[in-house]
Structure 1
């Protein structure tokens, strides 16, 4: 067997290999697969204009295609990249011809075709099946859609996925994503398997040394940093994010009643990772709102996990999502998150997540953010120290009892408490369940202490990519779960 080419090859169909949510999750999964047994290839889409042909070959398109962010990663891992013309609605014949040609040229090479681009999955999956691919999978990753004609067109092309037979298996990252792509009837009938967007939890776990390094590089060592990670596209709702941050700044700058006195004198910054077609528009909006000098447009980062460490808070007001990996990543990093209630509830795994409607005023979001920041141990007086000490003790217990991780509503096992902690058992007995839940919320400034507890909850909810790689590896090898 040639080096880098596994016995089983899976073709993943995507729009491209840029830094999108689906792409990041698939590459993370690829890195954790047993690549001696299983290899991934990728089929991407690109405009044929530069080739001068309406239906160019994959090689012709690849010759003019600009490399995407993950191209090198795919090649280093042993994968191959193929290309077909981007589907624009009026080139159906050319699109089908390119697909038929590709699957005929590589007949027998792929055991699975897994389509993450569901807008045209009802076109390319049947072609793959007729070309001899044994197993075809439609994988839903978005729980909403664009507005206007573009959104309507996508819904029409996805309509065939609402019935059985188009794909052998239907996957979705959340129930809402499954309903959006396959329909409620298919989901309720058990014809859609929910597979969460898993991440490398250890890579995102809080690290104080990394935090200090990145904050120094960004020049925000003494600042409060509100963060966001996502491409600059309609779904991410950056205009609302910028308006929220504007209100945060105004509330702090005009805090005559000293509601946020503990934050006075501290610089505040909005750190945004990602690129996209709306990035320049958002820079102009930040300038009009007079907050541009307080915003950091960081672009795409290969070490995005390190930038989460530099943040103090995470704000994510998306219009719609399948299951946003960035919110899972933020929780893994110990960040308190304020997210829109249009996001799938499966992402609400830990006590770090709060939800708000994007129909609320940006000022309401801003007040919530500042109220939460006021409870950070880093900025707070000694009033909450006893509760913070309680949380540290409970986190230690959780670490010692890995087989039965402590839940916030449980009372602590006092027999396991270290007598040298200085913890007053009398205080513990007086704590209500609500108080213990609050103790975890109040310790968000002490992210290193809550890391074991947070990662355990995310792992139990199915967000560990290593466990998911083992699950899907078994599926790819056996053809069943």
Structure 2
């Protein structure tokens, strides 16, 4: 059996982590096994399932980065050299793969799950990026990206033919059949009237997800007399400040914070539209899931156009656009007819988002 150690930091319910678990569940576990390196002692959402699947969790909780690298190197030296390292730390893949090389690990996989926003960066940050790109190019034996934009970002020196595009695949059948069954899931859960528009935003409560923009947009909708309810799914460092902002804008009756949830397919199925005004993204798993369900999304044009899978379920708008433009696009979205599950399943499978095909591709990478 070949063991693959995933460097993830933690395994809570978020995009990259969910994608790894989707792959893990379908993996041929007679020949391959996933293990994980955490940089925390805290319990994580997927711990129990990882253990049920017979995966190991190695914890390196040191806050000092140099101490962490030393402990990581020491751990790798004790492992079978046929163990593979699969790093999901984006630009920081450079250090973890470089150390794996020094420890004698033969298969070293770099996986990019996102891009970087177009904002001002310090001189030191730019130097670190160039240095990291060079190290990844030197020490990775395999290059994976969730999409073309992510691949161009993290592997600027690598030929595109050497980069494996591994879409954030899902169990297409499970999601495509969910909307009909769970269409009123959120409406019943929150006891909402039939004429209330249900909007959702899923993701970590961090700056890049731009929840502040969403809340200001809600303020605009309320001023126009539009009946809506906004559901925020996820947790993060901005939890308290976002709740304060909701109260400040007198939206507490229009917004529900649900925290981290395991019933994402049902929540998406019960929504009328998903918002994603992110400052930047790679290829978010939740955008694959929403399209698989047939849920339309209104997202920022800072997100790569490749996230639109051709089902006419993704609408882009600029973060500098007036809220009236976002409002108009939202209302037009709500007039769309539902797409049949069979059509959705066919399109996603053809586009490579079927988890079964992704697992086969990954197993070929591990050898």
**Common fold: TM-score over 0.5:** yes
Equivalent residue runs for 1:210-289 within 5 Å: 210-220=182-192, 222=194, 223-253=196-226, 267-289=227-249
Residue 74 in structure 1 maps to residue 50 in structure 2: yes
Paired residue for 1:420?
none
Secondary structure, counterpart of 2:225 in structure 1: helix
168-177 vs 210-219, greater mean Cα deviation? 210-219
Paired residue for 1:345?
305
Q: Which of 344, 355, 362 is equivalent to 1:472?
A: 362
Equivalent residue runs for 1:312-351 within 5 Å: 312-349=272-309, 350-351=311-312
Equivalent residue runs for 1:166-177 within 5 Å: 166-177=139-150
Paired residue for 1:403?
none
Tell me, which stretches of 5 or more residues in structure 1 are unaligned? 1-6, 47-64, 254-266, 376-441
Q: Number of residue pairs matched?
A: 363
Residue 366 in structure 1 maps to residue 327 in structure 2: yes
Give the number of the structure whose residues are more often helix, by fraction. Answer: 1
- 1:146 Cα deviation after fit: 9.4
Deviations 1:153-192 (A, max 9, x none): 4871563324632211111111211222222x4255x332
Residue 305 in structure 1 maps to residue 262 in structure 2: no
Paired residue for 1:156?
128
Paired residue for 1:453?
343
Residue pair 1:245, 1:366 contacting (<8 A) in 2 also = no
Matches of 1:175 and 1:140 in 2, distance apart?
10
Paired residue for 1:178?
151
- 1:147 Cα deviation after fit: 6.0
Deviations 1:339-371 (A, max 9, x none): 111112221112111111112123321221123
Secondary structure, counterpart of 1:136 in structure 2: strand
Residue pair 1:160, 1:166 contacting (<8 A) in 2 also = no
Paired residue for 1:406?
none
Q: Which of 40, 44, 52 is equivalent to 2:38?
A: 44
Deviations 1:317-347 (A, max 9, x none): 1111110111111111111111111112221
Paired residue for 1:443?
337
Greater relative contact order, per chain length (Cα 8 Å cut-off, separation 6+): 2
Secondary structure, counterpart of 1:252 in structure 2: coil
Matches of 1:24 and 1:168 in 2, distance apart?
24
Residue pair 1:119, 1:155 contacting (<8 A) in 2 also = no
Q: 1:119 to 1:155 in 2, by over 3 A?
A: farther
Residue pair 1:178, 1:187 contacting (<8 A) in 2 also = no
Paired residue for 1:98?
71
Matches of 1:234 and 1:475 in 2, distance apart?
34
Q: Which of 23, 45, 53 is equivalent to 2:17?
A: 23
Matches of 2:323 and 2:200 in 1, distance apart?
16
TM-score of the superposition, structure 1-length normalised? Answer: 0.71
- 1:474 Cα deviation after fit: 3.1
TM-score of the superposition, structure 2-length normalised? Answer: 0.92
Matches of 2:193 and 2:131 in 1, distance apart?
51
Residue pair 2:142, 2:365 contacting (<8 A) in 1 also = no
Matches of 1:181 and 1:27 in 2, distance apart?
23
Paired residue for 2:99?
127
Secondary structure, counterpart of 2:60 in structure 1: strand
Larger Cα Rg: Structure 1 or Structure 2? Answer: 1
Q: 1:335 to 1:213 in 2, by over 3 A?
A: closer
- 1:150 Cα deviation after fit: 9.1
